[in-house]
Structure 1
Amino acid sequence: MKLPDEVGGYTGLLPLDKPPSEGGSGSGGLGWAGYRGWVYKAWKEGEGRCYMLRRIEGFRLQHEAAIAAVEKWTRVRHPGLVGVREAFTTRAFGDQSVIFVYDFHPCSQTLYEAHLSPLATLPPNPWSTPLTHHAHHGGAAAHAAPYRSAARPALPSTAGGPGGGAGGAGTSPVLPERVLWSYVVQIASALKCVHNSALAVRTIDVSRILVTGKNRVRLGGAGVLDCLTWDGGQSIPAHQQDDLLSFGKLIIALACGSTSAVHNLPKSVDHISRMYSPDLKNVVLYLLSKPGPRKTIEEVLVLMGPRVVDELNSSLVAEDTIEHELMRELENGRLVRLLAKFGFINERPEFDHDPRWAETGDRYLIKLFRDYVFHQVDETGRPVTDLSHVLTALNKLDAGVDEKLMLVSRDEQSCLIVSYREIKNCVESAFADLSRS
């Protein structure tokens, strides 16, 4: 089907649904209240920014208030939620469709694609490391069976379980507990924000949650079911309880390495108790318990209290690391500005009707400094390509230190002793002359 050139002010539509060869259905998703959904990348006219468009095919809007319900989601901002921008109806695809616009996160995967798909690149990958548990893990092993390939031999099982799980010989690698807790804490934090806004996510599923970076997850698809099954918001409390139940099933699927694990809860909970810490098991059991007015996401966060602190500490470490890297880039930016000024000044063929401008006065001093930094040779006449010398000299110039250095002309007939501060003043003065012109 040929895509329209423009939809609601968005152009350049590019399908994001993966073909069957890459683990996708190739025909859209049917998990939206019975309607087929499609995903596109598009650019907003006048902004130059990319957004993700989710199209629900064949949906005829019965109440304008259903679209208005999405407006509430546009005011919810949380780092664990894919931001909702707007929703509108369209006939651009040749049918009645409703479009939901979200923030675009490039190179993201769903939790299913990242961990549970036969083509998954992150652990656990049931295709290449099939679950081979003891007899009491038979249920979980059976759930992993559909992912096994007769064409590929099973890898030998490993002893022990990662992430604090006490597995014995014969257990397979599972999702590390530290990574799993990171996911759980992020999802719980996003759920708390949504529930406190009197909304319900309703898309807590391995195929709806995106992995947008290392151990970074975001809830996707917010607002879609609110529009498709609009009831005036009367069922929000019930949907919030469903969120908690779906959250528990999500943890089971990730911990057991199979979406089918939720169909055999006793075996799955037994697997979690053997492979992970008691804290995780307690959280799962609470999420799977019967709904009630006291069953809230706040209580879930109380149960995982120490794990929240661990996640906070990891976030602070990541923040410090990123800040350190940004400071390095800031240093690079300062040096690039200096080099750009050198490029404007040195060897300039003419300025202010003076062909000799770049070779006289302050500019001659700048030229000699350029030779000192980049054009040095050793005792045999070979070029000196010492990057540390370049960085040291440019940093001293940028700081304008009073340290003296000796500059020698190419014909060795002139020798000048000047400070970095004086050279910096010459650079600023020459560049100012160019800027004023």
Structure 2
Amino acid sequence: MTPDWAMPGVQEFVPGKLDPSVLAVSDAGDPRTPHFDSFLASHQHQQPNPYLEHNINGGFLQTSSAFQQPVQYHQYAPIGPHNPNMMPYQRSVHDLFLTNELREDIQRRMAATLQTLPNSQLPQHIESYHSLVPLDTTHHKSSSTFGGYHSWVYKVQSSTNGHFFVLRRIEGFRLTNEQAIRSVQPWKHIVNAGVVRIVDVFTNRSFGDSSLFIVTEYHALSKTLAEHHHIGHGRHVRARNSIDQVSETVLWSYVTQLASALKTVHNSGLAARVLDTSKVLVTGKNRVRLNGCAALDVIQYEAATSLAHLQRQDLVNFGLTILSVGANMADASQNFARAMDQFKRFYKPEIQTAVVWLYSAQQHTDRTIDQFINLISSQIIASFDAALHADDSLHGDFAREVENARLVRLLTKLNFINERPEFEHDRQWAENGERFFLKLFRDYVFHQVDAQGHPVVDLAHVLSCLNKLDAGTDERLTLVSRDEQNCFVVTFRELKKAIESAFQDLSSNSRRL
């Protein structure tokens, strides 16, 4: 019986192209006419739009001359049904690996990070950055956030260190004061889990105009709050039973994270200035970060606005952001009363009071982020406790993978040692040599057969033997050669010493070469 963890021999799928003649569906509805397959069809006459949502952030990119096959996530140890009849000391195969959801999330992020855009019309490189891939998900660009300038976002790779970053382009900005660029320097020293770190700022004409470029950290598969919660997508009022209703616990989590970010920013003598649902990033489960900061510091460098006023405006924008998420209204700032009416239907008075306190910060010049943090201290403790539980859960997931490194090292050493053709005439490796039983141990672990001569494929046996070998236990085992003419009775401790000795011999020989 084939175990559920064994990979079946499935032929690799190679996407191809269909003849356009077979895609034509007759008016008569001939049942023999093949169905149109959008996955295989080649769009030879349609220029792809790199800004469409299905072309970015983890999806596969498709052009008229190139095709990239998406990662086959389902081929990586799928989780089977839970067996309730197992004893507490028993484990299934899947208990030894990461959860399916966590593994797939990590793989999707890695795939999105390495994603490229074939036959791109974008510049080949900008300063020391290359391989531009658009991250925007909409054609409609608002110019209200960055002082009337349109902005575009790209994933890029650094030619200096090979790391990936996000390149934000402020289109059409002309630098008139060199001191404006230097005003971003303090932002590079901001270190907070709720702020997307600023890496570099410069101007460049690679797009044919004078543009401002801001380089920040890259968080794969991240979305804005507006995208994540579908804020203002064709409706202004959220139904009570809607599946995308933001729970109060999640909303408090957003409040505490953004409050921590603003505290770090304000205590550093800065102001975020850009804080709304279209700029706050969701980079993980209930994880949000301030994004787009420092841009207005350069664009509006010569504007005479006091820092205290800008920081109070941050509090107002903070309150409007939470209100927009809770009421599902993108225009909460234009109709605060209506948004609050919707907000009060779903949330308790405590969070309502917090939103009103933030929104009225400009009318009370003594209000600061530190005072707000004191008001929500109980919720901060609750969010911190939830973060600790999440940390414990992740540690538990990764603890399953800790033993894999030890077992991989053992398997690597065994494969280095066994079946070395250059040692065929060496007495130590001959059938009567002291290292011959290492080959028999490999057969004992991986090449066992049952009474009918059928191969035994038992992962539990493999893991048990390798763990005992790594620990070097005194348990004895009998190793019999394939011709049944040789028999060894050894302990796992002796096997471990022999493997280490043989591997050291191989290492010393390779160094001499």
Sort the TM-score into its range (normalised by shorter chain).
0.7 to 0.9
Which residue pairs with 2:253 in the alignment? 182
Letter in 2 for 1:53: L
**Counterpart residue identity of residue 223, structure 1:** A
Superposed CA deviations along residues 280-310 of structure 1, whole A, max 9, x for unmatched, are 1111111012423431111211222121111
CA drift of 1:356 comes to 7.9
2:13 equivalent to 1:13: no
1:8 corresponds to which letter in structure 2? E
Q: Does 1:89 align with 2:208?
A: no
Corresponding residue number in structure 2 for 1:389: 461
Q: 2:311 aligns with which of 240, 257, 273?
A: 240
User: How far did residue 431 of structure 1 move?
Assistant: 0.8
CA distance in 2 between counterparts of 1:30 and 1:43 reads 29
Offset from partner CA, 1:6-50 (integer Å, 9 cap, x none)? 2111111122222xxxxx125575531011111111111131111
Structure-2 residue corresponding to 1:2: 121
* Matching residue of 1:278: 349
Contact 1:28 1:38 in 2 (8 A): no
Tell me, in whole angstroms, the C-alpha distance in 1 between the residues paired with 2:361 and 2:299: 27
Code of the aligned partner of 1:177: E
What are the Cα deviations for residues 125-158 of structure 1, in whole angstroms up to 9, with x where unaligned? x66xx6xxxxxxxxxxxx339xxxxxxxxxx964
The question of whether the paired residues in 2 share the 8 Å contact of 1:346 and 1:358 is answered with no
Report the 3-state secondary structure (helix = DSSP H, G, I; strand = E; otherwise coil) of the residue aligned with 1:42: strand
Cα distance between partner residues in 1 of 2:422 and 2:160: 41
Contact 2:478-2:490 within 8 A present in 1 as well: yes
In angstroms, what is the RMSD of aligned CA positions?
A: 2.3
Q: How many residues align?
A: 389
Q: What is residue 165 of structure 1 aligned with on the other side? A: none
Residue 355 and residue 210 in structure 1: after superposition, are their counterparts in 2 closer, same or farther (change >3 A)?
Answer: farther
Counterparts in 2 of 1:358 and 1:287: CA distance versus 1, 3 Å? farther
Alpha-carbon contact 1:81-1:190 (below 8 Å) kept: yes
Q: Percent identity?
A: 46
The equivalent of 1:218 in structure 2 is: 289
Unaligned runs of 5+ in 2: 1-119
Q: Confirm or deny that 1:315 pairs with 2:387.
A: yes
1:157 and 1:238, CA in 2 relative to 1: closer, same or farther beyond 3 A? closer
Compared CA separation, residues 334 and 213, structure 1 to 2 (3 A) = same
Structure 2 contact 424–430 (Cα < 8 Å) conserved: no
CA gap 1:376/1:233 in 2 versus in 1, 3 angstroms: farther
Partner of 1:168: none
AA partner of residue 271 (structure 1): Q
Residues 134-149 of structure 1 aligned to structure 2 (within 5 Å) = 143-144=236-237
Aligned equivalents of 2:204 and 2:273: distance in 1?
24
Query: Against the structure 1 CA distance between its residues 92 and 380, is the aligned structure 2 distance closer, same or farther, given a 3 Å change threshold?
Result: same
* Distance change >3 Å, CA 360–CA 210, structure 1 → 2: farther
The amino acid of 2:473's aligned partner reads: V
What amino acid is the match of 1:218? R
Structure 1 unmatched ranges of 5 or more = 19-23, 119-125, 131-142, 146-155, 159-170
Q: Partner residue of 2:400?
A: 328
Q: Is 1:114 the counterpart of 2:233 in the alignment?
A: no
Aligned equivalent of 1:66:
180
Alignment-mate amino acid for residue 90 of structure 1: N
- Say if 1:333 and 1:290 are closer, same or farther in 2 by CA, change over 3 A: closer
Give the equivalent residue in structure 2 for 1:32.
Answer: 146
Are residues 251 and 30 of structure 1, via their aligned partners in 2, closer, same or farther at CA, if it must alter by over 3 Å? closer
| 1-structure distance, mates of 2:303, 2:240 | 52
| 1:44–1:335 distance in 2 versus 1, CA, 3 Å | same
Residue in structure 2 matched with residue 341 of structure 1 by the alignment:
413
Q: Taking structure 1 as reference, are residues 29 and 103 closer, same or farther at Cα in structure 2, changes over 3 Å only?
A: farther
